[in-house]
Chain A
Amino acid sequence: MSLWDYANPRKFMELSGRVLPGLVALTVLTLGAGLVWGFFFTPDDYRQGAAVKIIFIHVPAAMMAVNAWIMMLVASLIWLIRRHHVSALAARAAAPVGMVMTLIGLFTGAVWGQPIWMTWWAWDPRLTSFLVLFLFYLGYIALWAAIPEPETASDLTAVLCMVGTIFAVLSRYAVNFWSRGLHQGASLSLDRAENISDVFWYPLILCMAGFGLLFVTLVLVRTRTAIRQRRVQALALRESRGH
């Protein structure tokens, strides 16, 4: 059986229906364990105090805000090249999840910035590019909603998705491209000397995995919903033509 067989909506519904209960359980376990560990069992930072605990939601949310565009890009390219409707619907399903992740990244960053940087907001490259990324999500969702014809909507949103993905990658590396700004460099590094302390690193990995699983779970559920909605529309159309 080929991977492309799952682009068939019926096969996709069967497989995702089998996978979802286990995925939900794994998401709750991973995210729950990561958040409880991060909140209750990590020490305060010697400079930031308890504010360091915001890292366990801010970093995973910001990571998913960018990664969602990568997933949407892959799904959009599959649509453009192979015209599989499920992939277009999956890209559409991911956008609101990515948008909420971006909003969480912006909100938690602002709340953290107030006591540490003494300001809620600054027109810093990373902050500004994340705000624009949030607006890209809004534009993408609005474009889907504005075009009633599904194939045209899938085509146009796929093009917008490519632009959004480039911007998402730019915003990911904004702190490296533009050295001026309040936002510090990456907290995570493969270099042990550069990376954050293990006492924060292990629960953070768990939180990142949990946010990733939450994203996959929500996108699967939302894609299944979109397939059902499309099926309802097809049945209604058939009904109206029959009378």
Chain B
Amino acid sequence: MPDPGKYMDVVLLAWGGTFLLLGLLVAVTVWQSRAARRALADAGAAGGEGS
């Protein structure tokens, strides 16, 4: 019978990896969103159109 507290390192690795992957996904999504918003504002200004 495994000791209940025994696998906490495994839990922390799984949860840490998940937070890292989700954090990267959210960061890339937000960064791309801001870049697209900026590009559209610039293109709109150059072409005389708003978003």
Contact = CB atoms under 8 A, between A and B. Distances in A.
Interface of A: 39, 44-51, 53-54, 57-58, 61, 96-97, 100, 103-104, 107-108, 111-112, 114-115, 214, 218, 221-222, 224-225, 228-229, 231-232, 235-236, 238-239
B14 A112 contact: yes
Closest 6 CB pairs of A and B: A44-B4, A228-B36, A51-B7, A49-B4, A111-B14, A235-B43
Interface string B4-46: 1111101101110110011011100110110011011001101
A57 B25 contact: no
A240 B46 CA distance: 12
Interface residues on B, range: 20 to 34
A104 B25 CA distance: 12
B32 A100 contact: no
B34 to A, nearest CB: 9
Contacts of A103: 21
Interface of A is mostly: helix
Nearest to A35: B15
Contacts of A54: 10-11, 14-15
Residue of A46, A47, A49 ringed by the most chain B CB atoms within 10 A: A49
A138 B33 CA distance: 21
A50 B47 contact: no
Contact of A104 (B5, B18, B30, B32): B18
B25 A218 contact: yes
A46 B7 CA distance: 12
Contact of A96 (B18, B25, B40): B25
Contacts of B51: 228, 231
Contacts of A108: 14, 17-18
A104 B21 contact: yes
22 contacts: A51-B10, A51-B11, A53-B15, A57-B14, A57-B18, A61-B18, A96-B25, A97-B25, A100-B24, A104-B22, A107-B18, A107-B21, A111-B13, A112-B14, A218-B26, A221-B33, A222-B33, A225-B29, A229-B36, A232-B39, A236-B43, A239-B47
A224 B24 CA distance: 19
A114 B22 contact: no
